[in-house]
Structure 1
Amino acid sequence: MASSAVDSVIHGFLFSTDEMREIFSDKSWAQKWLDTEAALAKAQGELGVIPKEKADIINKYADANLLDLASIGEFYKSSITIVPLLKAFKKVLPDNAGEFVHWGATSQDIVDTGLVLLERDAYQVILRDMKECLKHCLTLAKKYRNTAQAGRTHVVHAIPITFGYKAAVWADELGRDIERLEAMKDRVFVGEMAGAVGTLASQPEKGLETQKRMMEILGLNVPTIAWHVARDNQAEFVSTLAICAGTIGRINHEIFSLQHTEILELEEPFFMGKVGSSTMPHKRNPAVLENVLALCRNVRSIAPSIVESMVSENERDWGCFLSEWEAIPRACHMFGAALQKSKYILENLIVYEKHMERNLNAQKGLMMSECVMMHLARKLGRLTAHEIVYKSCMKAYEQEVPLKQILMQTPEVTQAFTEEEVDLMLNPHSYIGLAPEFVDRVVAKWENI
């Protein structure tokens, strides 16, 4: 029976995906260990380190479906090494081939390489879904390239932007995250085959050749030197996920904020039958957004623990590595779920253009203070113009009247501009700057990624 949120038949969909659960299942863990042992045997068989016929048998039977996984778990109670797997594997190997498994290796060679193989599978899903999120953001950026929206700084209205511009900022950040993910591949997806303390003392003749061929078979990079206690690769993997979770979290938090009843410019997807409250039938809560925000927060919280695990004793320290076995899969589970839900939100996002238009005028022209100031500055100087417009804005703010009303009572303004010119300066659609052009730059940069 499941006892964690990830595997729960009730809560599981909140914290993981079927795809990630398959990647990190017990069978998958065992299979990656077997893949590692099989690659080692194949390389050694080709190089004459072990009999080739034994290597062929090892590869033929390297199938987790043939193992008694429960017995591996039982043996683990007395041996946190690869020995429990070796015992289970030996039972299914004919012709005494089990005596040639794990030749010259140490447990951590197999465990570390197996973990890297699992991470690579998870990485491919994460990279795919990050690109999907980017694609959806680019679609939003192009569609709403010219749709004016209130820009906000320090949570209050600033000057106009376009919603396409906001989505383009999301897209550009996602693009950089994708570059980070791709840049770490060569450092993170490195196998391990170095023996007891990393010196390959058990394979002095063909150790390096074995190591190279083994990694070719697995599709991993060859380690320059053993990384048994050098865990920067694992720390980088999770830290990069944390950065990506920061981006996904920020995007979802922006949508969440803009779903406030008083704003309601954006809304997560809705369908009839989606219930927000057991007692308030009217509620259309941002439940999926809240789910993503919680997931991303948890992913980010894992990174410090893996960085902390970099501090290891001498040439081996299981006390640190055990943290990785639990935390790295959990980070992948939760970020996988966050991305799956984010794809759904971004692809089906509800955009209320009429509410964006309404909110542009919520402060009765105050949003356009910079535009007025810059026009007046050309005639009176910037500091003088700022002081005049500042006083006008504060008066309009306190009296809760349109800024135009105060401006038309200000001699410095009426002497410099006609009423029609003031109306043009107060039109938010005339002051979106180069927002559409920035959208075009982002789309051109990332649309073919």
Structure 2
Amino acid sequence: MADAFDWGLLEPAAEAGLAVSDDRVLAAMVEVERAYLAAWSELLGVDSSAELTSETIDKDALLRSSRQAGVPVVGLVDALRRQGGERVHQGMTSQDVLDTALMIVSRDALIQARTQLASAGRRLCDLALEHRATTIIARTLTQEAEPTTLGAAISVWLDAVTSALEVLDAVTYPVQLGGAVGDGNAMVRRSGAPDAVTTLRHRVAEELGLTDPDRSWHTERSPVQAVTQAAASVCSAGGRIGRDLGLLARDGLITPSHGGGSSSMPHKHNPVDAVLLVANGLRVGGALAVLRSAALSYDARPAGEWHAEWQAWRETLRLAAESASLLDHVSGDLVVHAEGAVAQARPETGPRAADDSDLIATGHVVDSVVSRFSRVVRADRATGGGTR
């Protein structure tokens, strides 16, 4: 097979993004076909012992077929029928396979992201509580404004993490199954059962651990919008925190214990995690714009809109996985230089000095935000995880 097109040279946090690699998408498509074959065999009461695997698939041949057909599923089905016979894929369509596979990949990537976000949030809780009385001067519109505490500033980051966790907890990952034009007619015709598509969809959802939406959503793309917006919320939280961390590192207030170097300036200690978090927050908007435009679908399958979604959908997942990993790392890599943080009285034209009322107010903020995060984490433990 030709050298991989993208192995992370221009993607410094690429390792976390392997959760959405081509190999993972291919494996997920095979999972969909395997679950559907099992459901179909159960419906007809026939043997379902065929083993489908991605391990022996000729990837070069799959790429050639994808170029010819404009979709990777046609060549995949040919390869899998050599493993499992003609019942593979019967009644389904390419969109069923790829949409459902990307939902599997989405679920797994965002569960991973959620775990790392929760880990980062716990560290931010500790930092906020530790520095609830470390006074600093807050800035508004880039200028020194009023005294506050570092704990209150960190609470803003924790709030962003908690909000992203809540968005992830609310998202669902529905199976897509409707056949050629979304009405399941081929499944009814082949089985003779009027409710074949409902039965098969429910069974496939159970087998894959996805949600049964009780409908076909092949041209109604709100499930894609919900999943990718959830992924983007992780990137937005990371980008927001990265912005502050970069500025705080510039001012010498909070620095990474493991900064990055420079090719020409050996004195540099760059806040690499912060920089990459900002970059991901900026990048995700472009992918969302493609997905928003592609949601204006038409017919039973549009010419181009659905195809435009594939990489944009995966890009949001990749960036979310990377951002969560970066947040998890940076939250445990921060050094606070408290001696430079204490807010001193300024000249008459500057901000006032901190007093006890400031500490009372900011302490309340810290406690409230930490409590909110703790409620989300406790709910997660009670339910065994928020993503479905």
The alignment status of 1:447 with 2:383, answered yes or no, reads no
Cα distance in 2 for residues equivalent to 1:245 and 1:363? 40
Counterpart mapping for 1:344-423 below 5 A: 344-357=329-342, 359-361=343-345, 363=347, 366-368=350-352
For structure 2, the 5+ residue unaligned runs are: 378-388
Q: Is the 8 A contact 2:137 2:144 kept in 1?
A: yes
CA contact (8 A) 2:235 2:319 kept: no
DSSP 3-state at the match of 2:138: strand
Tell me which structure has the larger Cα radius of gyration: 1
Tell me whether 1:193 sits opposite 2:190 in the alignment. Answer: no
Give 1:301 deviation, angstroms: 2.4
Q: Check conservation: 1:148, 1:162, Cα contact below 8 A.
A: yes
**Corresponding residue for 2:67?**
77
Q: Which amino acid aligns with 1:91?
A: R
Judge conservation of contact 2:110–2:231 (CA < 8 Å) in 1. Answer: no
TM (normalized to structure 2)? 0.88
Structure 1: 5+ residue stretches without partners: 369-425
1:430–1:365 CA distance, 2 compared to 1 (3 A): farther
State the partner residue of 1:325: 310
1:179 Cα deviation after fit: 0.6
Which deviations, in whole Å up to 9, do the C-alpha atoms of 1:89-133 show, x marking residues without a partner? 12234xxxx111112111111111111111111111111122122
Q: Determine whether 1:33 maps to 2:29.
A: yes
Give me the whole-angstrom Cα distance separating, in 2, the residues matched to 1:20 and 1:441.
33
CA RMSD in angstroms comes to 2.1
Alignment of 1:170-249 (within 5 A): 170-185=157-172, 189-204=173-188, 205=193, 206-249=196-239
The residue that corresponds to 1:410 in the other structure is: none
Cα distance in 1 between the residues matched to 2:160 and 2:224: 23
Structure 1, residues 393-415: CA drift from partner, whole Å, max 9, x if none? Answer: xxxxxxxxxxxxxxxxxxxxxxx
Partner secondary structure for residue 110 of structure 1? helix
Number of aligned pairs?
A: 367
Matches within 5 A, 1:125-136: 125-136=112-123
Q: Which amino acid letter does the alignment assign opposite residue 44 of structure 1?
A: W
Could you say what secondary structure the match of 1:116 adopts? helix
SS of equivalent to 1:317:
coil
Contact 2:235 2:277 in 1 (8 A): no
Deviations 1:272-315 (A, max 9, x none): xx52x333332223333222211221013211111111011211
| CA–CA separation in structure 2 for the residues paired with 1:104 and 1:280 | 62
The corresponding residue for 1:394 is none
Determine if contact 2:234/2:324 at 8 Å carries over to the other structure. no
The equivalent residue for 2:326 is 341
Q: Please list every run of at least 4 consecutive aligned residues from structure 1 whose deviation after the TM superposition is greater than 6 angstroms.
A: none
Residue 134 of structure 2: aligned partner? 147
The question of whether the paired residues in 1 share the 8 Å contact of 2:36 and 2:200 is answered with: yes
TM-score in terms of structure 1 length: 0.77
- Distance in 2 (alpha carbons) for counterparts of 1:239 and 1:65: 32
CA contact (8 A) 1:27 1:69 kept: no
**Which residue of 2 is the match for residue 270 of structure 1?**
258
**Correspondence for 2:264 among 279, 290, 300:** 279
- In structure 2, the partner of 1:384 is none
The higher-RCO structure (CA 8 Å, 6+ apart) is 2
Q: What is the aligned partner in structure 1 of residue 381 from structure 2?
A: none
